[in-house]
C-alpha cells in the first residue's frame, strides 16, 4: 500500500471532494485541495492521475451489489485487519467504476496496475499550450531556454547548458516530464548517452534514472533518437499506438495521440516496431507507417522525416503554398487562413522553421506576393 506519513493513496481515491474535482476537470480546485495537504502532494498527484485515467459512468447498481463490492475492495486494499478504516460510500456508479478498474487501484498498493496506463494518463494530463519548454518532476518545474541542450547526469541531476537546473536530491519524483510547446523543439541527453530531439507539441516521460535491465520512455508527439548501445538494457519508446525496441540505433518516431496516423523511420541500425495488429523489423532507410485501416513498411528517403530536428522543413516535391500553410498551422498550432489565389503558388526546396511563425511567413512572402495579419489566435493571408 502506497503511504506517506499518516495518509495512504486510498484516503484520496475515496475522498469525495477530490473525486468531484477531477470529474469536473477543476484544476484550480485540485490545486487548492493539494495546498491543504502539503505532506501528501505526491499521493494526491498519484490519485489524480488515476482518477483522470478512468471514466466514471453514471450507471445504477442494486444496493446489495454495492455492499458486496465495497467488501471485496476493502479486502483487497487492506490486508492488515488490525487497522481501522473509515470507508466512504460512493454512489453506485462510482462502485462500478471501482470494480471495472480494480487492477488500477491495486497498482498503487501492489504495483499491479499497468505502468503503461499510468504513464499514458500522466501524458494526457500535460498541457503543451505553454510559452516555454519545461521539465516537471513532481511539484518541481524548471523552464528551459530555446534550443538549449538538457543533460541528465548519472545521479539524476538536470543540467541545461553549463547551468544546473535541478539537483537530484531536490527531485522527489522518480518520473520526469518534458513538455515542448507548439512552434518549438528541444534536445535532451540522457545519462546513458542517448540523445533525443523532441519536436513541436511533444510530451515525453522518462525516469530520473534508468533501471539496471531496461531503458523506457513514454511518448506523445514526435522525437528523433540516437540511442547509445547497451546490449544489457534494451531501449524502448512506448506510445499509445506503437512501441519501438532497440539496442543502439538512430530513428524517428511520430506518434501524436491526437492523430490517427503516424510513423517510425529508421536511419541507422535496426528496430522492432510493435503495434496492436503488426510487428515489423525495420532496416535502414525504411519506414513503418500506420493509420486506422492498417500499416505498411516501405523504403524512404529519411531526411524529410528527420530534418525538423535541425529546424528545417524539407519539401519532398513541389508543394503548394496551401499545403505548406497546413503544415505550419499544425507545427505552430495556429489557424492560418488563405482565401486568395496565392494558395496555389508552388514552392520547392527547404524552409527554415527554427524561428517564429511570423519569421517563416515573412520569408515565404519574399518569393510570393502576399501579406499576413494576425487577428486573435488566427493568421490571415491576403494577396498584395
β 242-246/271-275 pair status: antiparallel
Question: 3-state DSSP call for residue 356?
Answer: coil
Which H helix or E strand runs over 85?
Answer: none
Q: What is the largest CA-CA distance in the chain?
A: 80
Rounded to the nearest integer, the mean pLDDT of the chain is: 80
Exposure b/e, 300-321, CB count within 10 A at least 16 = b: bebebbbbbbeeebebeeebeb
User: Bigger pLDDT: 24 or 216?
Assistant: 216
Selection from 231, 270, 264, 230 nearest residue 249 by Cα: 270
The mean-pLDDT minimum among 145-154, 204-213, 356-365 falls in 145-154
CATH architecture for residues 118-304? Sandwich (2.60)
β 378-383/370-375 pair status: antiparallel
* DSSP characters over 10-51: HHHHT-HHHHHHHHHT-HHHHHHHHHH-GGGHHHHHHHHHHH
Question: 3-state DSSP call for residue 160?
Answer: strand
In the structure grid, which three cell numbers stand for residue 61, read together? 447498481
Q: How far apart are CA 46 and CA 362, in angstroms?
A: 46
pLDDT digits (tens, 9 = 90+) for 185-203: 999 999 999 999 999 999 9
pLDDT at 58 over 50: no
User: Bigger pLDDT: 335 or 368?
Assistant: 335
Q: Dihedrals φ, ψ of 329, to 5°?
A: -60, -40
Q: Taking a C-beta distance cutoff of 8 angstroms, is the pair 125, 179 a contact? A: no
Could you tell me the pLDDT band of residue 5, with boundaries at 50, 70 and 90?
low
pLDDT digits (tens, 9 = 90+) for 121-133: 888 888 888 889 9
Please give the pLDDT value at position 321: 86
CATH architecture for residues 311-383? 3-Layer(bab) Sandwich (3.55)
Residue with the three cell numbers 515573412: 362
For 223, left (φ over 0), alpha (ψ -120 to 50), or beta? beta
Question: CA separation (Å) from 283 to 81, 254, 275, 302, 355?
Answer: 57, 17, 17, 12, 34
For range 257-282, the mean pLDDT: 91
For range 134-157, the mean pLDDT: 84
pLDDT at 262 over 90: yes
For range 330-342, the mean pLDDT: 86
How many other CB atoms sit within 10 Å of the CB of residue 65? 13
β 335-338/378-383 pair status: parallel
Could you tell me the pLDDT band of residue 64, with boundaries at 50, 70 and 90?
low
Exposure b/e, 177-196, CB count within 10 A at least 16 = b: bbbbbbbbbbbbbbbbebbb
For 361, which DSSP code? H
Gyration radius (Cα) of the chain, Å: 24
CATH 3.55.50.30 location in the chain: 311-383
For range 75-91, the mean pLDDT: 41
pLDDT at 105 over 50: no
Please give the pLDDT value at position 304: 92
β 279-282/271-275 pair status: antiparallel
Q: How far apart are CA 20 and CA 125, in angstroms?
A: 17
Could you tell me the pLDDT band of residue 53, with boundaries at 50, 70 and 90?
low
Question: 3-state DSSP call for residue 100?
Answer: helix
For range 57-84, the mean pLDDT: 45
User: Bigger pLDDT: 163 or 55?
Assistant: 163
User: Bigger pLDDT: 212 or 76?
Assistant: 212
CATH 2.60.120.1440 location in the chain: 118-304
Please give the pLDDT value at position 344: 81
Amino acid at each position: 500500500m502506497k503511504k506517506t506519513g499518516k495518509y495512504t493513496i486510498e484516503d484520496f481515491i475515496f475522498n469525495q471532494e477530490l473525486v468531484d474535482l477531477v470529474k469536473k476537470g477543476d484544476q484550480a480546485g485540485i490545486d487548492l485541495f493539494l495546498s491543504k495537504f502539503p505532506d501528501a502532494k505526491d499521493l494526491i498527484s498519484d490519485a489524480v492521475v488515476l482518477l483522470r485515467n478512468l471514466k466514471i459512468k453514471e450507471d445504477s447498481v442494486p444496493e446489495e451489489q454495492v455492499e458486496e463490492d465495497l467488501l471485496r475492495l476493502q479486502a483487497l486494499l487492506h490486508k492488515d485487519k488490525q487497522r481501522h478504516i473509515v470507508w466512504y460510500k460512493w454512489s453506485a456508479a462510482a462502485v462500478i467504476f471501482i470494480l471495472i478498474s480494480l487492477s488500477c487501484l491495486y497498482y498503487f498498493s501492489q504495483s499491479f496496475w499497468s505502468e503503461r496506463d499510468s504513464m499514458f494518463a500522466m501524458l494526457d494530463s500535460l498541457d503543451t499550450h505553454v510559452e516555454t519548454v519545461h521539465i516537471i518532476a513532481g511539484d518541481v518545474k524548471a523552464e528551459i531556454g530555446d534550443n538549449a541542450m538538457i543533460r541528465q547526469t548519472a545521479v539524476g541531476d538536470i543540467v541545461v547548458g553549463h547551468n544546473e537546473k535541478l539537483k537530484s536530491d531536490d527531485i522527489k519524483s522518480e518520473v520526469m516530464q518534458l513538455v515542448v510547446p507548439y512552434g518549438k523543439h528541444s534536445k535532451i541527453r540522457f545519462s546513458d548517452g542517448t540523445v533525443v530531439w523532441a519536436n513541436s507539441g511533444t510530451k515525453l516521460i522518462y525516469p530520473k534514472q534508468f533501471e539496471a535491465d531496461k531503458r523506457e520512455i513514454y511518448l506523445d508527439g514526435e522525437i528523433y533518437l540516437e540511442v547509445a548501445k547497451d546490449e544489457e538494457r534494451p531501449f524502448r519508446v512506448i506510445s499509445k499506438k506503437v512501441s519501438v525496441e532497440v539496442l543502439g540505433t538512430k530513428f524517428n518516431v511520430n506518434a501524436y495521440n491526437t492523430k490517427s496516423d503516424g510513423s517510425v523511420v529508421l536511419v541507422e541500425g535496426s528496430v522492432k516496431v510493435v503495434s496492436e495488429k503488426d510487428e515489423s523489423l525495420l532496416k535502414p532507410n525504411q519506414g513503418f507507417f500506420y493509420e486506422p485501416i492498417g500499416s505498411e513498411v516501405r523504403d524512404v528517403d529519411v531526411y524529410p522525416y528527420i530534418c525538423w530536428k535541425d529546424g528545417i522543413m524539407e519539401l519532398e516535391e513541389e508543394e503548394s503554398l496551401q499545403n505548406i500553410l497546413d503544415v505550419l498551422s499544425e507545427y505552430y498550432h495556429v489557424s492560418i487562413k488563405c482565401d486568395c489565389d496565392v494558395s496555389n503558388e508552388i514552392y520547392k526546396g527547404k524552409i527554415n522553421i527554427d524561428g517564429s511563425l511570423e519569421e517563416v511567413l515573412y520569408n515565404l512572402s519574399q518569393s510570393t506576393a502576399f501579406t499576413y495579419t494576425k487577428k486573435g489566435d488566427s493568421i490571415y493571408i491576403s494577396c498584395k
